[in-house]
Amino acid sequence: MDYTPKKTEILNKMSTQDIGTLHRVIKNFSSQAIAEIATKILGFIAVIYLARVFGPKDFGKISFAYAIVTYFMLITDLGLQTLGTREIARVKTELYNYTNNIITLRLLLGILSFVLLILSVFLFNKPLEIKLLIISYGLILIPSALFFEWIFRGIERMEFIGIAKVLDKACYLFLVIFWVKKVNQLLLVPYFWWAGNVVGSIFLLYIFTKNFKFPRLEFNPIFWVGLLKKSIPLGLAWLMIQISFNFDSVMLGFMKGEREVGLYSAAYKIILFVFMLGGAYIIAIFPVISRYYKESYERLCNLLSRSAKLMLTIGIPIAVGGTLIGKQIIHIFYGPEYQEGAVAFQILVWYITISFIAMVYSNSLIACDREKEYSIGVALMAGTNLILNAILIPRFSLVGAAVATVVAEGVLFIYSYQRFNKIGKISFVNYIWRPTFSAILMGSFIFLSPIKSLFLIIPISICIYLGGLFVCKGISLEEITFIKRALLDKG
């Protein structure tokens, strides 16, 4: 039987502990969302600036080099960060044990991954400039062991992660705008990128040391084996996810060229900018899902049911609106040079809707000790992405890569939904029609409106969508009251 509790029942059954937990989730989500919005804005400004300074081809070189390095960054992790977050969220007394051992293990993995990167680069049939870009980005691999975000997620102190991310991207943006003026300064970009990463990591290390104590290297091979047995399925899953995120750019780079990578990456950067809204929410509730799985089935279902509704309510209008005004968006951000990437953007925007709802089920599999099932799901997604990219890119270029990405995410959603049903049936079907109806109203206005300015049409469209939701009771006064109670409650 589907677990879709009525709003009034939920309100009546909420205990002080429930509201306190929800208040903490909202606080963490708010901290994460505000920080993500700020960092994505800063990072996106840097992207726009670099895209305009370098043009599609040279911007594509940066995107290609970064995409290559992301795969070697996975070697430094192997799922250890996600595992550490989950275990610390459950047992706070194990904080130092996990912190010290994971840092040590990741440091060794970072050294290994950098060596492998150097060896691999010389096998690529690419110009020296691109090889140097890849190696320059790869310098982050060793200090990445000191990225402390996973620890602060485990102890549910997202505000510090937010500050670190803002410092990271602010530093990067300042260096890029201050120094990069010409095409021949391409090789400076990766150094500025990892400089920002290091600044953010130093901040988190300082906060951790101030509140706890300075971490130390701890060599415990027996404990490492136990960690890796649990984390490697997660690491393989993240490898598969990176295939879906970046392998289209890699394949475009090898099969087409840097210009196509630049056009595609420009469109995809906007998608990732919006994607962070759902990601911030899932990150905020991940420790709570993990805890509720052990403590209360009813609370777990309440939380995930509401989350599914939220994701659909946000995701559907984004896809409809993005499809209709995609060309204008690309032109405003990047200029006429990137207009060929507009069609890819109009397809990729549907990835947002699918991924928002897929995240609810796929990430819950991890939180509920279903790492292997989650890994199978992302392997299916990555396999679909690889096969479709190989078939579609040679013939359809950017459009083929975009279609492959959207279809692959759909595969992950279907699999995750089916597998999570074995834990608890959290229905999403009942939450589709209201945002869809409201989005159709909004889309009709956009399609028929004589207004051409995005600065007018976007806020008007949002108001029409929200009005449609209110009319069809997609947003109720009871839910508004519920959120107000949670926000005002001090736990």
Q: Mind giving me the DSSP string for 210-250?
A: HHS--------HHHHHHHHHHHHHHHHHHHHHHHHHHHHHH
Query: Residue 445 and residue 466: Cα distance in Å, rounded?
Result: 13
| Token pair for 79 | 């799922």
Provide the CA 244 distance to its chain's centre, in angstroms.
12
pLDDT of residue 6: 44
Query: Residue 262 and residue 171: Cα distance in Å, rounded?
Result: 24
pLDDT of residue 30: 62
What is the mean predicted confidence (pLDDT) over 344-352?
95
Angle (CA) 367-371-374 rounded to 5° is: 95
pLDDT of residue 195: 92
Task: Please give the residue that has the higher pLDDT: either 475 or 141.
Answer: 141
pLDDT of residue 3: 40
Per cent of the chain over pLDDT 90 is 39
Task: Please give the residue that has the higher pLDDT: either 483 or 151.
Answer: 151
Task: Please give the residue that has the higher pLDDT: either 31 or 130.
Answer: 130
Q: Which of 108-112, 194-198, 429-433 is predicted with the least confidence, judged by mean pLDDT?
A: 429-433
CB–CB of 329/454 below 8 Å? yes
pLDDT of residue 478: 61
| Cβ within 8 Å of residue 92, ≥6 positions away | 155
| Length of the chain in terms of residues written | 491
User: Residue type for 468, please?
Assistant: G
What is the mean predicted confidence (pLDDT) over 451-471?
90
Q: Which of 11-20, 274-283, 315-324 is predicted with the least confidence, judged by mean pLDDT?
A: 11-20
Calculate the dihedral angle through the C-alpha atoms of 242, 248, 254, 260, rounding to the nearest 10 degrees: -130
31: pLDDT strictly greater than 80: no
pLDDT of residue 438: 94
244: pLDDT strictly greater than 70: no
As a 3-state breakdown, the chain gives helix, strand, coil percent values, each rounded to 5, of 85, 0, 15
Q: Which of 89-103, 238-252, 392-406 has the highest mean pLDDT?
A: 392-406
Task: Please give the residue that has the higher pLDDT: either 19 or 93.
Answer: 93
Q: Which of 25-29, 310-314, 326-330 is predicted with the least confidence, judged by mean pLDDT?
A: 25-29
Q: How confident is the model at residue 1 (pLDDT cuts 50, 70, 90)?
A: very low
490: pLDDT strictly greater than 50: no
4: pLDDT strictly greater than 50: no
The pLDDT tens digits of the residues spanning 291-312 come to 788 877 777 887 888 888 888 9
| Cβ within 8 Å of residue 350, ≥6 positions away | 319, 323, 406
9: pLDDT strictly greater than 50: no
